[in-house]
Amino acid sequence: MTSGRGWRITTGIVESDPECCKPGTPEFDCLLAELVISNLTLNDDALELREEFVEAAKRRSSWTDFRTDVILHSALGIRSGQ
């Protein structure tokens, strides 16, 4: 905890075991970590970050035909309208 200014995140770990998760790219992993921190931890809407994440997810996988809300819910548990 920082001196009177709240919490400071100084490091993060990305799971990369191919038996546990699909291999990502540094861009995708960074966007996912930033979105989790911004949206779920800090309760920020992070609308622009959500859009970037969805585009990266579509480039990374066969999710090209999925709607944005389906991708966000699959990755983060975010439901429509949140």
Whole-model pTM: value is: 0.68
According to the model, what pLDDT value does residue 1 have?
Answer: 47
> How high is the pLDDT of residue 52?
93
| Alpha helices, DSSP H, located in the chain | 26-35, 47-60, 68-76
Domain that holds residue 62: 26-76
Which amino acid, one-letter code, is at 4? Answer: G
Asked if residue 44 is part of any domain, the answer here is: yes
Q: Is residue 54 part of a domain?
A: yes
pLDDT at 41: 80
Which segments of the chain have a pLDDT < 70? 1-5, 21-23, 63, 78-82
What total of structural domains would you count in the chain? 1
Strand partners, 81: none
pLDDT of residue 78: 63
